[in-house]
Each structure stands twice: as C-alpha cells, then as structure tokens.
Amino acid sequence: MGFPLILRLSLELPEDGHYIRTTRLLSRCLLEDMCVMRHVIDDVETIVAELCSNVIRHAQSTSAKFEVTLEYYKPKVVITVRDTGAGFDQNAVRHVGSMRDDGYGGERLGGWGLSLLDGLSDKVDFTTTDPHGTTVRVEKNLIYETQADAEQARERDTSYGGSVTVSAV
C-alpha cells in the first residue's frame, strides 16, 4: 500500500438493507473526525451505500452475510466489500437506464451503480472470489479542510491508530 494505516474498521453484516444506514454513518463519522472536506465525505458515504446495496440486491450469498472494511490512510480511504454470492460479470451488466427486476415481482429502471462508483471513486477493482462471490475494492483520495488537519492526519499516519471489528448477528 505504501502508507501506514491510521484505522481499519471491519464490519460483518447480514444482507439486510437496515445496515446500510449504519455503515454510511460510521464512514461519515470517522471522516468528519479526521476533518476531511464535506464533499469527499459525501462521496465516500454514497460509495459505501452503493456497494452495500449491490450486495443486498444482487449477491444472493450462500452465507447471507457480507463484509465491509474501511481502511483510513492519510491520503485516502480504501473501501472493500466481500460477499459469497453468485459472482459478478462486468460484461453481463445491462445498459444504464434499462429495465430490470426490482426484487418484488415488478420492474425498475437501473444500471447507474457502476457509473456512479466510477464517477465518485479514484480507483475501482472487481475481483471474483474463489470459489464464488465478489470482492470490490474502491479507493477515494482524501482532501482535508485545512493544512493543519492534513498535518494532524499525517501524525496519526505515523503512529498506526488501530483496528475495530464489528459483527452483526
């Protein structure tokens, strides 16, 4: 990675939409505490929500759980989401704005998620997880409110802040 880790937050969550809000708020609170610019915080919160929503809507995991990891470094946050679902083929994704199953017996317009991730992120990687599932790794560069805030993050960066793991049952 090249940069010392400030903080790692790891969540193991059920494939339940109620946890999307909690995950968004955790990402927001940590970045606010680091005095990151609000528009960057909004982008990260949206990225986290989109990644979690995709798992809940599409993964159909064997375990009905997925993992979200947020790793904070001075220059960036790395968001990783892993599931044990059916897998993901980027070539099979329908076009933006096309009709698709809404999961409730109806149809909806969809397909904006990948474009949204590409637009808000500095780097997005999809990896097939063996034997099944998908891992998505997203990087977002951080911009701080002031130079003093950036220096404070640099000081945290040199002393490895720690790790928090949360599992929802």
- CB 73 within 8 Å of CB 122: no
Specify the pTM. 0.83
- Average confidence (pLDDT) over 132-147: 92
Look at the block and give the residue holding tokens 């059916």. Answer: 86
The mean pLDDT value of the chain amounts to: 83
Q: What is the pLDDT of residues 39-98, one digit of tens each?
A: 999 999 999 999 998 888 877 777 788 999 999 988 999 999 998 877 766 666 666 666
Taking only Cα atoms into account, the Rg of the chain, rounded to an integer number of angstroms, comes to 17
Q: What is the pLDDT of residues 4-23, one digit of tens each?
A: 788 899 999 998 888 999 99
> 38-54 vs 113-120: helix axis angle to the nearest 10?
150
Report the C-alpha gap between 120 and 163 in whole angstroms: 26
pLDDT attached to residue 125: 92
Sorted by where each starts, the structural domains of the chain and their CATH numbers stand as 8-151 (3.30.565.10)
Report the C-alpha gap between 160 and 163 in whole angstroms: 9
